[in-house]
Chains A and B, each alone.
Chain A
Amino acid sequence: MTDEELIREIQEGSRAAMEVLVKRHYKSVFAYIYRKTGEYHTAYDLTQEVFIKMMKSLKSYQNTGKFEHWLLKIAVNHCLDYFRGREYKQQHRETELTEEAFPSSEHHNVWDIFQKRNQNEQVRQAVLSLPEHQRDAVILNYYNGLKIREVAEATGTSESTAKSRIRLGISKLKEMITGGDRHEKPTYKRNK
């Protein structure tokens, strides 16, 4: 059954269809949020909230594009709300205070973590240290496999902005992961 058929069934009151639809897209949404937040419990809660939003918005869903992208757009906006929210800012301040107690430059801090922890943790830290919009763009493009146009739609920007964010994000990731020169101008190639 397609997503659209499932949605019709849900609108007719089928709980089973809702279960199938949620299970089909759960991992995609969770993976995006987990990579965006880097925290399991936060990701679990936010994923649940995203699906609640989905249920509330199903009646206004218009079959104009891929359902998964529509759902990811809800996830992107919900994460934006979360990061702008009081709860996150409070946690962030606490983290900053901890970091202030053990001062070190951002670059060295990340590098130290690279040295001390395993590679998975290094990549996690590197992705999490990206500015929010770049992180969004890289996660959606690389991990969720969205095209540039789809990333632009999900994040509510133009294609050029989305592309620029991805490039900047990749450049920073490269710099953090491989220790490359921060100011080196990256080169890009279109694959047609």
Chain B
Amino acid sequence: MKNQHTNGTNKAHSETEIDIDEYSEIASHLNQYPVEFPSEAEINRTILELSAYMPEPEGAKQKWASRSLTQELFQVVRGEMVIFHKSYWLACAVLLLLGFWLGRQHSMDSTLIVLFLVPIPFVLGLLEVFKGRDSGLMEMELTCKITAQQLMLARLIVVLSGNIVFVFLLMLLVSNETGDLLTWKSAGLLYTQLLISAGTSLWLAMRVRGGTAVSLFLIFWFALVQFVLTLKEVKAFIETIQPSWLAVIAFVGAGLLIRQTYQMVRKYTSQTERGYSFDTDHR
């Protein structure tokens, strides 16, 4: 580091608007307050930092604005699907095959198998949704044109859409022989369950680290499934829930999921803004 010792921007007091007698008495002293300026490399480092704050060119802004939000989001979602960890898609495929295999075992109840597997892809996907936060990469993500919040939202859409497709495929595979799952009522039950599980697990993931949230939710989930398996009354009760009640529960689940998604975007927006805002008081 090369430091320069100069008087920098010192200017003679004669250049100022008024001349105060006292300046003349201490001017020779005041001129000896040197400034240790940063080296060229250090100034360049500041310039490099500032590159992240370059305004978008007007032309690009107009081009960006002319594209619809849906198109933009779709592009981000498509990009996210590609960069999702391959093990996630592999796990989904394995779960699907597991569901298919279990469904062919006549000793097992196909409804319960599907119920058991329904929320797992979403819960595992939360690891991907929050990977930026958990790996401390949110600040880096902020420097991209797409914000960290957009990324999380796009990943959430990927995970949720993936899980919806997963449930549908699972229904098809498991119902291959009997067809007892290919009914509106079954679909309603499964998707209601997905919405409730998704909202709950997202609520949990926002409060603890992604890995811990997934572990906690899966433990809770396995315990619940075990409980349902051992108590036939509970299974019978689930099967007899009226469609109108299912609709109400699904509505609550969707509300919970939307609310948690909104809070997630708000929470991480304010956090990242705080981290990068220099407009606020340092108090």
Contact = CB atoms under 8 A, between A and B. Distances in A.
Q: Are A and B associated in one complex?
A: yes
A123 B30 contact: yes
A126 to B, nearest CB: 8
Given A10-B55, A44-B42, A87 B282 contact: yes
Contacts of A123: 29-30, 32-33
Nearest to A139: B33
B26 A178 contact: yes
B282 A85 contact: yes
Contacts of A53: 278-279
A154 to B, nearest CB: 14
A171 B19 CA distance: 14
Nearest to B27: A142
B33 A127 contact: yes
Nearest to A180: B25
Nearest to A38: B33
A52 B278 CA distance: 8
Chain A contact residues (Cβ within 8 angstroms of B): what range?
Answer: 35 or more
Interface stretch (B7-15, B74-82, B150-158, B248-256): B7-15
A120 interface: yes
Contact of A78 (B22, B32, B35, B278): B278
Nearest to A59: B55
Contacts of A122: 29
B13 A142 contact: yes
Interface in B54-85: 54-58, 60
A51 interface: yes
A17 to B, nearest CB: 10
A189 B21 contact: yes
10 contacts: A31-B8, A44-B38, A44-B42, A51-B50, A53-B279, A56-B53, A85-B282, A143-B33, A144-B9, A166-B20
